[in-house]
Amino acid sequence: MAEKKGAEVRARHLVRSIAPEAAGYRVHFDRIGEGRFEAGSVLARIVIVAAGSLGSTELLLRCKEQYRTLPALSPFLGSNWSSNGDFLTVAFHLFRRILYPGRGVVFAGSINFLDGRPDDAAAPPGRKPGFNLEDAGFPYQAVGGLIRNLAMNRGPALGRRHRLLHLAIRAVAAVYGALHWLSRRPVLRPLRRLFEWFDPINRMMPWVAQGEDAANGTLRLKEGELILDWPYADSQSTIEAIYRAHRKLASSTWGLILPPIGWRWFHSLITPHPLGGCNMGSSPLNGVVNHKGEVFGYGRLYVADGAIVPEALGVNPSKTIAALAERIAEHIIRDHPRGAWPEAGHGHG
């Protein structure tokens, strides 16, 4: 739809930096060619960064600290990162009919505990861990990719338990891949239903949740890499409340729940909803962009994605992010009419 309106989509382009010029901003990029990077740039009167919480924050951090093209960016850049309290609990239902989590809609229902659970009725205001529970599904094609990514080991000096966990994940991935490869062979096609019956994935219920975590992580650059400092203890009460609720749901439906090894041993989580890093605020002292998504100190430079959400939402953030993007687009149209190129210099956002 955007292309029908005149937009040009450039695939395989890695944006490296954004630099102010008299007539706007020059965006420097590398195009991924045949085995090499091909440097290039484009000049624009308005730039909208929308690479997600991690991507947008990393790009602006590099512009500020590595390339120094945007040195006046707020010192708040990278602060108040949130995982949106995302937590996954896996339960296996061995004594019920097959679930087939890879078929149908991804989320079929939810239970909203954003005002706290009944068990928390006696807790003082502000101490009730709010969260939202959902029964999940996933495309079967994603299983192999997820297992492979879980088995990736980038740490330079990991402990024995961590290495054993990665080895076990690789073994599970290998067995799972072999079984599905066999089930697709023409000679074994009549046995496909049998494979489906014994496939543990078909008996798995992924209980997922989003919660109101502390939203106090920090993204920063270290030795050229994006690093997250996340004080897990500040969000521990919310995560533990979510796990207790998941455990009750699983047991009430005759499910066998797997212990959260990643959380218990390593205090590590998987989040599809990272938020923050370029937070919306009232000034550079408490944010990176203003209420219009415009970067403080750099007029006509915008961030329009989950990076500007200043705290955990406790629900799936897609509609909130979409609403913010729609609002930002309206302000851009109103503040910068088409065809009006800016004068020299950059005002404050």
- Per-residue pLDDT tens listing for the chain (349 residues): 999 999 999 999 999 999 999 989 999 999 999 889 999 999 999 999 999 999 999 999 999 999 999 999 999 999 999 999 999 998 998 888 888 887 888 888 899 988 866 666 556 555 678 999 998 887 766 666 666 666 565 555 567 777 777 777 778 777 777 776 777 778 777 777 777 777 778 888 889 999 999 999 999 999 999 999 999 999 999 999 999 999 999 999 889 998 898 899 889 888 999 999 999 999 999 999 999 999 999 999 999 999 999 999 999 999 999 999 999 999 999 999 887 666 544 554 4
Structure token pair of residue 342: 């800016």
Q: Which domain holds residue 104?
A: 87-216+230-266
Task: Give the residue from 51, 17, 64, 27 showing the smallest Cα distance to 220.
Answer: 64
Place of tokens 């749901």: 249
Residue 327 burial (C-beta neighbours within 10 Å; 0-12, 13-18, 19+): middle
The SS3 of residue 180 is helix
* CB environment 27-60: b (16+ within 10 A), e (fewer): bbbeeeeeeeeeeeeeeeebbbbbebbbbbbbbb
Report the CATH number that the domain containing residue 321 is assigned in CATH.
Answer: 3.50.50.60
In sequence order, the β-bridge partners of residue 41 are 28
Q: Are 34 and 152 found together in one domain?
A: no
What's the structural domain count of the chain? 2
Give the total residue count for the chain.
349
Q: Is residue 93 a contact partner of residue 99, using CB atoms and an 8 Å limit?
A: yes
Statement to judge: residues 322 and 186 lie in one domain: no
In a domain, 279, yes or no: yes
Say if residue 239 is in the same domain as residue 320. Answer: no
Q: Which two tokens stand for residue 275?
A: 């938020």
Alpha helices by DSSP H, listed for the chain, are 52-61, 141-150, 160-183, 192-198, 236-252, 261-266, 318-335
| Same domain membership, residue 197 and residue 98 | yes
